[in-house]
Amino acid sequence: MIKVTDVSMKFNLGIEKNFSVKQAFIDILSRKKKEKSYFWALDEINFEVEKGEVIGFIGNNGAGKSTLLKIVAGVMKPTTGKVEIQGNICPMIELGAGFDYELTARENIYLNGAVLGYSREFIDGKFDEIVDFSELRDFLEVPVRNFSSGMIARLAFSIATIVDPEILIVDEILSVGDIAFQQKSENKMKSMITGGTTVLFVSHSIEQIKNLCNRVIWLEHGKIKKVGPAVEICEEYYKSQLG
């Protein structure tokens, strides 16, 4: 289903986002050789995920969890190694990244759906479901720029979670909106995770990982430290964190 082989990811820390002519001149004049400083965000990662499995990833900040998920989702290409995937992937993208604030809610459902890779027929068929879940039927023709942030989050969440993907990538369980909607959105995500799809799940909540995952991969400094049953690994990780 998902097979990750020898995946390494090297970041060049020397990439200057703010390249300037001034800096270039200084570099030439001072004849200082630019130090190539690399950072291996991931180092020889190997794992396989079977169909229907729910895999959790734990580890400290900077351990490489999000980078790994980005590579699996195809957003980044690994420096070396390869990722083989069978089935369509749904990355739970940051809510509303594909919205255009000048467009109405209705138009944004189609736009954002297209960004997520849905077809027109699919969105047509699911349109009412999306609208009902978001509870925004009265605001369909209102430009999203007039929405409150909670309404935007609700709409985005409803669009993103309407699919039944074969592979779901979850970076933290989202609960958005007011308390009632938070409950609803959390339940929706949990039912997606436990609904038989393959899930890659990153969370800092050890409780959620324990409850939802079959297996856990513990990452540390870009390497797999341990793989095993969720409860066991989580407890070990928890203990190591407390020192």
Partner 1 sequence: MFLKNLYINFKKYSFLLQQLVSRDFKVKYKRSVLGIIWSLLYPILNMAVMALVFSNIFKFSTPGVNYLVYVLSGLIMFNYFSEASNLAMGSVVANFPLINKIYIPKYIFPLSKCLFVGINFLLTLIPLYVVIFATGTGVNIYHLVLPYAYICLFVFTLGMGLILSTVSVFLRDIFYIYGIVLTLWTYLTPIMYDISIISSKLQIILKCNPMYHYINFIRRIILYHEMPSGFTFAICGLSALIVLAIGLFVFKKKQDKFIYYV
Q: How crowded is the C-beta side of 94, counted as CA atoms within 13 Å?
A: 3
Residues 64-103 that bind partner 1 (CB under 8 A): 73-77, 91, 93-94, 97-98, 100, 102-103
Tell me 182's DSSP state.
H
In this structure, the number of other CB atoms found within 10 A of the CB of residue 83 comes to 17
Q: Is 13 in the site for partner 1 (CB under 8 A)?
A: no
Nearer to partner 1, 184 or 198 (CB): 198
Q: Sign of the CA dihedral 20, 22, 23, 24?
A: positive
CB of 197 to partner 1, least distance (A): 18
Tell me 193's DSSP state.
H
Q: Is 15 in the site for partner 1 (CB under 8 A)?
A: yes
Nearer to partner 1, 85 or 226 (CB): 85
Q: Is 107 in the site for partner 1 (CB under 8 A)?
A: yes
Residues 174-233 that bind partner 1 (CB under 8 A): none
Q: Is 155 in the site for partner 1 (CB under 8 A)?
A: no
Q: Is 11 in the site for partner 1 (CB under 8 A)?
A: yes
3-state SS class at 16: coil
Closest to 240 measured CA to CA, from 225, 222, 223, 224? 225
Question: What b/e string do you get for 96-125 counting C-beta neighbours within 10 Å, with b at 16 or more?
Answer: bebbeeebbbebbbbbbbeebebeeeebee
Q: Is 127 in the site for partner 1 (CB under 8 A)?
A: no
Q: Is 19 in the site for partner 1 (CB under 8 A)?
A: yes
Q: Which residues form the interface with partner 1 (CB under 8 A)?
A: 11-12, 15, 17, 19, 73-77, 91, 93-94, 97-98, 100, 102-103, 107, 110-111, 114-120
